[in-house]
Chain A
C-alpha cells in the first residue's frame, strides 16, 4: 500500500475515533505495519495540520502513544460563542486537589485523601469516577479492605500528559526545610 493511502486511512481513523483517540498499536494492527512506521505516519499528519493555516484541526498526543483529533486551540474563542455548544463544567478546585493527591500518591484510598484534605471527599470521588478521571484499581490490605484509586488515561488526556512523570515535582517534605512556608 502506498504511503499516501496509509496516511489517508489513518486520518480517517482519527476522525472516526474522535474524542477517544487512536493508539499507535491500533494503527499498527489496522494497517499491518510496525509501531515505528505508525508513529512516523501519524506524526507526519500532526505536522501537516500544524503547518497548514487553512486547516482548523490539530492532533493532541497524550498518554505517550495516543493521538486525538481536536480543533486548533487558538480558534477556541470563536467556537465558544456558539450557542449550541455542549459545555462540560470545569473541575472545581476541590476536585483538582483530590485529583492531584491521587495522581501523586496513587494508588490511594479515599481515607488517605481525606486525611490530607481534612474534608470528606465522597461526593468528589463519585463525580471523578463518573467522569472517568479516576478508577478503582484494587483493594488495600488495611482493615476493611478499602478500595484503592488511581488516575486514568482519561486523566492524562484531560491534562495533556504523556505520563505521570511529567507532573511537576513535589517539594520535599523535609520538616527541617523551614523555608517552604515563607514564600508567599
Chain B
C-alpha cells in the first residue's frame, strides 16, 4: 500500500507552518528533562542504543539536552549476533558521528562463558539478552540504564514508571513500584540496585514518526520501503534469511516491505509498505489497524504475559 498518492492532501503537512507542534514540543521537553536528570542524579548511567528508531529519537533528544559531542554517558548495545546489518552499521556510524562512546556486549560471549544456554540451536536469543545485559550492568556497575521503551507498545509497559527501580537481581517488581510524584524522581539506590529510565514513555508510535519527520532524524534504510524475500506465516511476513529460512511447503515471495520495529532477526517481521520517507510512514501509521507489536513480533504472541515475564527477568 502506498498511502502517499494524493499530493494535494499531503501538501499542508510539509509546509513550514506544520513543523511546529505543541504536543511534540511538550514530549521533547519531558524527554530532555529526564535525560538531564539521569546525567545529574546517577554516577554511572548509560543509554541503551540499538540503532532502532526509538533509540535514535532518544539520541536526538540527548543531543539537544547536552549539545553535540557532549552526551555525558556511554551508549550500550546488547548484541544477539542476529541483527540486521543495516541497523548495526547505522548504529556504529551514528555513534561515531556524535563522538559518543559505544559499548557492545554480546549474547554469544555469554554463551561462550556458559551463562546463556540455548534450549536448541535455533532458539531466539532475544529473551537471553537479559542475561548479557545484567552481566554488562555488573561489569560497568551501571546505576541507570536509559531505554527507548514506550508505554503504548504493550500492556506491561503501559504500567511502568518513568524511573523504574530494579533490585539487586535486576528484577522489576510490578506490584511494588515506587510512587512517582510530579517530577520529583526518587533516585535513591541501595548497592547493587539500579534504575531503568524511559524518557519517551509517553510517546506513541505516531509521535515518534512525526518527530522523526519534523527533526529529520536519519534512520537505517530498512525502516523504509525495500524489496525483501518473505514467507507468509500465521499472518506475519517472515523475512527469509540464513537464520530464518523458509519451511517446507512455504512459498518465498519478493515483497515491498518496511520494518515498523527492528530487533533480533529471528523475532522481527516487516510489514507490506511502499512508504519511502518519514512523511509516508506518518500517513500509514494514521491508518493502520494492527499495533506495532501485533504486526511484527513473533515473541510477544506466545503468551499474554510474555513481556511482563521477560521484564521481571531483567529485560529492558
Does B associate with A? no
Residues of A near any B CB (own CB < 8 A): none
